[in-house]
């Protein structure tokens, strides 16, 4: 994987084409969130476990079932970019690869790999999404009615969604609507199913390219595509997070923070079938370790 360039990169937008996204080597939703009432931000080395858990819950959408495992990729990821020139697209791709590797994800770096993490820069994200729905595009066809509704009702310059499939603990699919899963190893500590991300996509308005550099955009895309997360208001976060980028572009962090990296690392270190209410429990420890380095 090419070494990411960490200096800010000025991105040049090009017209959005209706073809396939640029692959990794080819370079070319409103979610309901828990309310929190913490204001201000702590210093990086002042980690309160309760506040970390509260903020983690705030950026994590509730599952349809209590204790449902958190969605994540199990297949290797392959990022692709639409709507940017070759060099700029490759920068975004390299940065997502870098972030994913740091979080412990498997990477598909095969030349021409099929993109399952897609970042698209378009003139009108809401119009593009509506057009994809109208034509039952393959990138939105698997979404449920409620997922489509949440994305459609999202306000702002960014739309993001994840295509998630429920499988058995061992990764087997079951037919039926709803699917039925047989398991003899369900307990408080282990769910009988897991939630696998098959595809993640984020669409960003090209106007954002005038004010934000490639690092900020790539890191925000990372947190919206490698995990099923929702944005948070900057003033509501006890700890800095890139997920507040579009709520307050001037004052929000411009790259992934210790909170963000701990979130992804904890998500992917846990068991795939770990109940969601037990996940992310070691984030405060990971943040403290990072602050001590």
Q: What is the pLDDT of residues 260-289, one digit of tens each?
A: 999 999 999 988 778 877 889 999 999 999
pLDDT tens for each residue of 27-43: 333 333 344 333 445 54
User: What is the reported pLDDT for 178?
Assistant: 52
Average pLDDT, integer, range 1-7:
35
> What's the chain's average pLDDT?
81
- The two three-digit tokens of residue 84, written as one number: 């940017």
For the stretch 80-103, pLDDT in tens is 999 998 899 999 999 999 999 999
Q: 79: closest CA among 107, 112, 116?
A: 116
The predicted model gives 65-94 an average pLDDT of 91
Q: Per-residue b/e over 163-175, b at no fewer than 16 CB within 10 Å?
A: bbebbbbeeeeee
Mean pLDDT on 188-203: 81
CB–CB of 140/132 below 8 Å? yes
Average pLDDT of the segment spanning 59-78: 85
Q: How far apart are CA 266 and CA 1, in angstroms?
A: 23
Q: Residue 75 has what pLDDT?
A: 95
Name the one residue in this structure whose structure tokens are 């001037």.
250
């Amino acid at each position: 994987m090419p070494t990411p360039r960490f200096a800010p990169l000025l991105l040049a937008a090009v017209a959005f084409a209706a073809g396939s996204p640029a692959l990794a080597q080819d370079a070319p939703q409103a979610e309901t969130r828990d309310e929190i009432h913490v204001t201000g931000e702590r210093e990086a080395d002042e980690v309160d476990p309760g506040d970390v858990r509260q903020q983690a819950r705030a950026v994590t959408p509730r599952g349809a079932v209590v204790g449902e495992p958190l969605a994540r990729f199990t297949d290797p990821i392959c990022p692709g970019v639409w709507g940017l020139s070759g060099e700029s697209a490759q920068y975004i791709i390299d940065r997502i690869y870098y972030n994913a590797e740091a979080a412990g994800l498997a990477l598909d770096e095969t030349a021409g790999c099929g993109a399952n993490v897609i970042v698209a820069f378009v003139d009108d994200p809401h119009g593009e999404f509506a057009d994809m729905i109208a034509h039952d595009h393959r990138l939105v066809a698997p979404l449920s009615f409620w997922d489509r509704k949440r994305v459609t009702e999202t306000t702002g310059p960014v739309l993001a969604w994840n295509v998630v499939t429920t499988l058995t603990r061992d990764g087997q699919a079951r037919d039926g609507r709803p699917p039925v899963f047989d398991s003899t190893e369900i307990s408080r500590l282990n769910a009988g199913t897991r939630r696998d991300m098959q595809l993640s996509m984020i669409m960003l308005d090209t106007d954002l390219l005038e004010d934000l550099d490639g690092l900020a955009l790539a890191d925000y895309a990372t947190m919206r595509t490698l995990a099923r997360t929702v944005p948070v208001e900057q003033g509501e976060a006890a700890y800095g997070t890139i997920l507040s980028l579009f709520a307050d572009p001037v004052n929000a962090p411009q790259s992934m923070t210790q909170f963000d990296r701990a979130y992804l690392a904890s998500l992917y270190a846990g068991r795939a079938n770990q109940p969601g209410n037990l996940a992310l429990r070691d984030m405060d420890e990971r943040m403290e370790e990072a602050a001590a380095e």
